[in-house]
Each structure stands twice: as structure tokens, then as C-alpha cells.
């Protein structure tokens, strides 16, 4: 197989383990901490997880390995969106499993959780795994978004495990997948299947974090990749001095990705969805905020700039969410057919204007026609508007254009405004993992096996102290139930891991807030450049500004 020089060099990279895992398998012992409680709704969560609730936090240490010498057959699943480093979780898991006993076996279920249900798998060996070390992507076994959540699926999963003699399943996924890992662990324990379930925290969105999990893997590499591209655009923008660039970045609901990129590149504007929701901002207010920056910069002769927009922002604009809810209602059931049968956009517009409330019609009316039409074209299997597909970068640039035209007419603005659009999402999800993600992921996988070997189930592989050098990282495990609370989902109260949104009183947002007025008016761009894999540790091993600020390191 032909490989690039970097790919070859990355195959040879040795990921750094936490100091406590570096002494060899026979010298890793376990230290149990206090019994845990869920973050909220303790009685309800305890009742739902009678076999896995209240377990102790554990930490690994240097010392005699006392785990039972049992042959392990482990199955691993990659769940949800790709995130750089997933391959290294599998590699770390494989290496620890084989170092413990060469007879141990690792199955990889293909295409996400459905692979387990459909019994679609491969068995890893050295030659296969070595092609994926320190590389991006999830193509080692593929990923998928099927949810493992029903009793029927669990029953099939238990049968598949019994068929192969599987002793443990490792689920690498986000908040939903790890919630389901906890439910599966409880099922396996309640039915005395002997199958343990361990989760690993993944998502570029950065929204699986809490008091125990400092960062989800992939966030570091994805944000570094986007920040490199944004920095390059800023340079271009400051060279040509003729465009306003509107850049949407991934992050389905939380704005951690946008905020981290802003901290890395100091754009003129970065919207933060959580702030938009908190201040109940309207589309018009947001457009005014951006137009103010355009106007101030134009007054200084700078008809250019960069705006970062988080993918999920429109869902956080209250008037927009209300509009979406009305449209979903308007086209529910057979009404969609009536709408689709209308001959042209004018007829459809008349249909819409008769049915929307006055407030929603006002919002609808200010949208560019392409966005109005998008709201009726791209619908999910339930017939709902797919908000994530809305081109919000184009929406906001058009709204800003309208604001500036009005200001020009009023004589308060006389600059030039020409907008370009970008969406950075898939570009970052399969990049070669940064050294941080390569090390963190390998450690998570290695650690997951140690949890299995010591008999734990319903735990999330936990590696902490991440803002320090890897030598000082702390490896262990946390019961997933500790991170759970009850939330209303699809009309039912469900136990879930709480999604971490950007905290407006947290250090990363506070830093951004303290500097953004200056960034909006002046040109303060910073250029992070490409991820560096080889070179001084001060350049290659740096993690995110978000983590550094959260830990008071800068």
C-alpha cells in the first residue's frame, strides 16, 4: 500500500501514556475512591440502575497487578460522527489487551452500533491494526448513528456476545452513545450475561465534558484544523482587504468549537449560541451587531473582516425556533402533500403567509428567499425542518447586507461590503490526530482495557489532568451513572448524560468577552498555522486554549 511520508512517520510515533500506565501491565494496580452519586435526580437514577449505580471512582497506580488472569474477548464499536484519534483508542485497547495475554481477542463491530446487532465484525491482528496507528478517521471499522437503546436490541447484543464468548464491549461515542452504554451495562449486569460495558468520551463538538471528563477526544485536532484554515483566511483577508468572510464551523448545538477557534484566531466577530439564547437575541439584533463592526471598520478604511458562526446558532434564536416549530406544525401529516402540490413559490408563499402567526411571518419575511425555500425543502424523515442544513453563514451575511443598505440610505455608512462564505466541518473530523489527541486516545483505549481486566462495568474511561504533560495525566474510570440526570426527551423523562454547553461565566467565554470589542474594530488576527507533529513540545503538545483557560493556565 502507498502511504505518504507523514503517514509513515505517524505510524512510527509512540503515543505518550500517563506516567502511572508506563510501567508495564504487571505493574498497574487499582485504587478505589469514594462511592459516587449521580449529579442530580439520585433516587430516580438509582432505581433505574440498581446494578451499576453508586459504584466507586477508580484510579490506576503503579503497583502489583492483582486482576484475575481471565482470557478476555472484547468487542469495540465506534459510534456517531468521526473524531480524530478514534483509531488510537482502538490501538491502545488492542495493545493493552495483547500485552496482558496474547490469547486475548479484539473484535471490531463494523459501521457503528448496528454492527453489533447485525453481527458484522472483523477480528484485529497486528498487521491490520498497524495500518491505522496515529491516523485520523474511523475507517478502521467504520461508524454509524444507530442508537443501541431498546430492550430488543440489548437482547440481540447479548446473544451476539454469547456466540463469540465476548466478555466486554467498549463503546466509543458522545453523550448519547455513552448514556446508552450505561443502559446496556445495566442490562448486561441485570441479566447476568457476564459482559462488561465501558465507554470512551468522543466528539469534536466538545460537549461531552463535566466535573470528571475534562475534554472529549477529537476537539483538540478538529479545532486546530479549523483554526489553521481561519487563520489562513484572515491573512488572505488582511492582504486583499476586500472581503468579509462568513465562516460556519461544526458543533451541532454547543458553541465550544466556535469559541475555541475564536480564542485561537481573534476574528472580528464570533457568535456564541448560548449567549444568543441567554440574551434572547433576534436575527435583527445579531445582524446589527455584525453590521456595527463592518461600519466601524469601514470608517477606518477596512472593508474586510472575519465572522465565525457556530453551526447550531439559529436554533438558539428564540424567534427562529418558534418559526421552525410553526413550520413543522404547518406541514405535519398530510398537509405536506397539499403544500408540495402547489405550482410555484408564489403559491407556496401565499400558503405560508396565511398560516404563520404574525410574529413568525415577520421573521420569515426578512429571510433571504434561498433560506426561506431551504426551510421547506430539506426535511428529516419525521417531516421536520433540518436546522443543521440551514446555511446560516449565508443567512447572516444577507441580513447584514440589508442592514448596511439601510444605513447607506440613511447616510450613516459609506463603505464597501462584499461577502464570501465557508463551512468548516468535515475537513476537521478525520485529520491526523494532534499529538495531544493521539496520546489522549491511546491512553483512553489502554485504560479502557485495564477497567475491563479489573472487572468494572458501566464506567467511562477517564484520563484527567490533561492540561499538564502526559507524564502527569491521571488514568482511571468513573461510573457513567455519576454523570447522569433526568431530562425530558421526545416526551419522556430519561436518564441522560447532561450535554455541556458553553458556560457564560466560564473562563474561556469571559476571556473572549473581555477582548471581543477590540477584535471587532481593529485587526487583531492571530495565525495558529498547521498542526505540528514533530518539533519542540511547546509547539507540538499544546492543547486547546479552552482547556488552558478552564484550568487557569493562561
Which sequence positions are flagged as catalytic?
205
Nearer to ligand FBP, 253 or 397 (CB): 253
Size of the site for ligand FBP (CB under 6 A): 13
- With CB under 6 A as the contact rule, which of the stretches 36-44, 237-245, 247-255, 454-462 interacts with ligand FBP? 247-255
The minimum distance between CB 499 and ligand FBP, in angstroms, equals: 10
Nearer to ligand FBP, 203 or 289 (CB): 203
Does 282 interact with ligand FBP (rule: CB under 6 A)? no
Does 148 interact with ligand FBP (rule: CB under 6 A)? no
Cα–Cα distance measured from residue 459 to residue 198, given in angstroms and rounded to the nearest whole number: 5
* Member of 15, 75, 80, 508 binding ligand FBP (CB under 6 A): 80
Residues in contact with ligand FBP, shown as a per-residue x/- string from 204 to 233 under the rule CB under 6 A: xx----------------------------
- Phi then psi dihedrals of residue 248, to 5 deg: -90, 135
Residues in contact with ligand FBP, shown as a per-residue x/- string from 297 to 316 under the rule CB under 6 A: --------------x-----
Q: Which among 34, 114, 108 has a CA at the least distance from the CA of 76?
A: 108
Cα–Cα distance measured from residue 191 to residue 464, given in angstroms and rounded to the nearest whole number: 33
The minimum distance between CB 422 and ligand FBP, in angstroms, equals: 15
Contact indicator for 51, 147 with CB cutoff of 8 Å: no
* Member of 200, 250, 283, 352 binding ligand FBP (CB under 6 A): 250
The minimum distance between CB 156 and ligand FBP, in angstroms, equals: 23
- With CB under 6 A as the contact rule, which of the stretches 26-34, 77-85, 227-235, 506-514 interacts with ligand FBP? 77-85
- C-alpha cell at position 333: 401529516
Task: Please state, as a whole number, how many other Cβ atoms lie within 10 Å of the Cβ of residue 133.
Answer: 22
- C-alpha cell at position 227: 483554526
Return the half-sphere exposure (C-beta side, CA atoms, 13 A cut-off) of residue 210.
20
* Member of 51, 146, 388, 465 binding ligand FBP (CB under 6 A): 388
Nearer to ligand FBP, 65 or 546 (CB): 546
Nearer to ligand FBP, 256 or 407 (CB): 256
Cα–Cα distance measured from residue 37 to residue 259, given in angstroms and rounded to the nearest whole number: 31
Nearer to ligand FBP, 84 or 445 (CB): 84
Q: Which among 470, 442, 460 has a CA at the least distance from the CA of 96?
A: 442
Cα–Cα distance measured from residue 418 to residue 434, given in angstroms and rounded to the nearest whole number: 35
- Strands, E, within 401-526: which ranges? 419-424, 459-464, 474-479, 484-489, 492-497
Cα–Cα distance measured from residue 326 to residue 322, given in angstroms and rounded to the nearest whole number: 6
Does 81 interact with ligand FBP (rule: CB under 6 A)? yes
Contact indicator for 46, 40 with CB cutoff of 8 Å: no
Nearer to ligand FBP, 422 or 516 (CB): 422
The minimum distance between CB 252 and ligand FBP, in angstroms, equals: 4
- C-alpha cell at position 399: 441580513
Residues 6+ positions from 43 with CB-CB distance below 8 Å: none
- C-alpha cell at position 278: 441567554
* Member of 86, 112, 174, 401 binding ligand FBP (CB under 6 A): 174
Burial class (CB in 10 A: 0-12, 13-18, 19+), 418: exposed
- With CB under 6 A as the contact rule, which of the stretches 80-88, 95-103, 331-339, 461-469 interacts with ligand FBP? 80-88
The minimum distance between CB 500 and ligand FBP, in angstroms, equals: 12
Cα–Cα distance measured from residue 258 to residue 247, given in angstroms and rounded to the nearest whole number: 10
Q: Which of residues 428-457 bind ligand FBP (CB under 6 A)?
A: 429
Nearer to ligand FBP, 15 or 251 (CB): 251
Place of cell 405536506: 336
Cα–Cα distance measured from residue 60 to residue 320, given in angstroms and rounded to the nearest whole number: 48
Nearer to ligand FBP, 224 or 403 (CB): 224
DSSP class of residue 300 equals: T
For Cα atoms 282, 287, 292, give the angle at the middle one, nearest 5 degrees.
Answer: 130
The minimum distance between CB 9 and ligand FBP, in angstroms, equals: 27
Nearer to ligand FBP, 83 or 140 (CB): 83
The minimum distance between CB 179 and ligand FBP, in angstroms, equals: 12
The minimum distance between CB 192 and ligand FBP, in angstroms, equals: 32
Residues in contact with ligand FBP, shown as a per-residue x/- string from 404 to 433 under the rule CB under 6 A: -------------------------x----
Return the half-sphere exposure (C-beta side, CA atoms, 13 A cut-off) of residue 521.
6
* Member of 16, 248, 252, 403 binding ligand FBP (CB under 6 A): 252
Contact indicator for 447, 461 with CB cutoff of 8 Å: yes
* Member of 135, 178, 180, 203 binding ligand FBP (CB under 6 A): 203
Nearer to ligand FBP, 83 or 148 (CB): 83
The minimum distance between CB 222 and ligand FBP, in angstroms, equals: 8
The minimum distance between CB 448 and ligand FBP, in angstroms, equals: 18
Q: Which among 52, 144, 61 has a CA at the least distance from the CA of 457?
A: 52
Task: Assign 3-state DSSP to the chain and report helix, strand, coil percentages, each to 5.
Answer: 45, 15, 35
Cα–Cα distance measured from residue 217 to residue 461, given in angstroms and rounded to the nearest whole number: 12
Measured in residues, the chain has a length of 554
DSSP class of residue 480 equals: G
Q: Which of residues 12-51 bind ligand FBP (CB under 6 A)?
A: none
> What are the CA-CA distances from residue 86 to residues 22, 130, 466 (Å)?
21, 14, 18
- With CB under 6 A as the contact rule, which of the stretches 129-137, 250-258, 369-377, 546-554 interacts with ligand FBP? 250-258
The footprint of ligand FBP (CB under 6 A) covers: 80-81, 83, 174, 203-205, 250-252, 311, 388, 429
Amino acid at each position: 500500500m502507498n502511504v505518504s511520508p507523514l503517514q509513515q512517520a505517524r505510524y512510527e510515533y509512540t503515543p505518550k501514556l500517563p506516567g502511572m500506565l508506563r510501567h508495564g501491565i504487571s505493574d498497574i494496580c487499582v485504587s478505589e475512591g469514594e462511592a459516587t452519586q449521580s449529579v442530580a435526580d439520585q433516587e430516580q437514577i438509582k432505581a433505574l440502575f440498581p446494578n451499576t449505580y453508586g459504584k466507586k471512582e477508580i484510579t490506576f497506580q503503579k503497583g502489583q497487578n492483582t486482576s484475575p488472569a481471565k482470557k478476555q474477548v472484547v468487542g469495540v464499536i465506534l459510534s456517531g460522527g468521526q473524531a480524530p484519534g478514534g483509531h488510537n483508542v482502538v490501538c491502545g485497547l488492542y495493545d493493552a489487551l495483547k500485552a496482558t495475554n496474547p490469547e486475548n481477542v479484539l473484535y471490531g463491530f463494523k459501521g457503528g452500533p448496528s454492527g453489533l446487532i447485525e453481527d458484522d465484525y472483523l477480528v484485529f491482528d497486528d498487521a491490520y491494526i498497524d495500518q491505522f496507528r496515529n491516523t485520523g478517521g474511523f475507517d478502521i471499522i467504520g461508524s454509524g448513528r444507530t442508537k443501541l437503546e431498546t430492550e430488543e436490541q440489548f437482547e440481540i447484543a447479548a446473544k451476539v456476545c454469547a456466540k463469540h464468548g465476548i466478555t466486554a464491549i467498549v463503546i466509543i461515542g458522545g453523550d448519547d452513545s455513552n448514556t446508552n452504554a450505561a443502559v446496556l451495562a445495566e442490562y448486561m449486569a441485570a441479566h447476568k450475561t457476564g459482559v462488561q460495558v465501558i465507554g470512551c468520551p468522543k466528539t469534536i463538538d466538545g460537549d461531552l465534558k463535566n466535573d470528571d471528563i475534562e475534554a472529549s477526544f477529537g476537539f483538540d485536532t478538529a479545532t486546530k484544523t479549523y483554526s489553521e484554515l481561519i487563520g489562513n483566511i484572515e491573512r488572505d483577508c488582511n492582504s486583499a482587504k476586500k472581503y468579509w468572510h462568513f465562516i460556519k464551523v461544526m458543533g451541532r448545538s454547543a458553541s465550544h468549537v466556535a469559541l475555541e477557534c475564536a480564542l485561537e484566531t481573534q476574528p472580528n466577530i464570533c457568535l456564541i449560541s448560548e449567549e444568543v439564547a441567554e440574551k434572547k437575541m433576534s436575527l435583527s439584533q445579531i445582524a446589527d451587531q455584525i453590521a456595527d463592526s463592518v461600519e466601524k471598520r469601514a470608517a477606518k478604511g477596512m472593508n474586510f473582516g472575519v465572522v465565525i458562526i457556530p453551526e447550531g446558532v439559529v436554533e438558539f434564536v428564540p424567534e427562529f425556533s418558534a418559526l421552525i416549530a410553526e413550520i413543522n406544525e404547518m406541514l405535519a401529516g398530510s398537509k405536506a402533500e397539499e403544500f408540495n402540490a402547489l405550482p410555484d413559490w408564489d403559491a407556496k408563499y401565499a400558503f405560508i403567509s396565511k398560516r404563520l402567526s404574525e410574529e413568525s411571518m415577520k421573521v420569515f419575511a426578512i429571510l433571504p428567499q434561498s433560506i426561506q425555500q431551504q426551510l421547506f425543502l430539506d426535511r428529516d424523515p419525521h417531516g421536520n425542518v433540518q436546522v443543521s442544513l440551514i446555511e446560516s453563514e449565508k443567512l447572516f451575511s444577507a441580513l447584514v447586507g440589508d442592514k448596511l443598505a439601510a444605513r447607506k440610505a440613511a447616510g450613516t455608512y459609506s463603505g464597501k461590503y462584499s461577502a464570501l462564505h465557508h463551512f468548516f466541518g468535515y475537513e476537521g473530523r478525520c485529520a491526523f490526530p494532534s499529538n495531544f489527541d493521539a496520546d489522549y486516545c491511546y491512553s483512553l483505549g489502554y485504560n479502557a482495557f485495564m477497567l475491563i481486566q479489573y472487572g468494572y462495568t458501566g464506567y467511562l474511561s477517564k484520563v484527567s489532568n490533561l492540561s499538564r504533560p502526559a507524564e502527569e495525566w491521571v488514568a482511571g474510570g468513573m461510573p457513567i451513572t455519576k454523570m447522569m440526570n433526568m431530562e425530558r426527551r421526545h416526551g419522556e423523562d430519561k436518564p441522560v448524560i447532561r450535554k455541556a454547553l458553553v458556560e457564560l461565566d466560564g473562563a474561556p467565554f469571559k476571556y473572549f468577552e473581555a477582548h471581543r470589542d477590540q477584535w471587532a474594530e481593529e485587526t487583531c488576527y492571530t495565525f495558529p498555522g498547521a498542526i505540528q507533529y514533530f518539533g519542540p513540545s511547546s509547539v507540538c503538545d499544546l492543547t486547546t486554549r479552552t482547556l488552558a483557560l478552564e484550568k487557569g493556565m493562561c
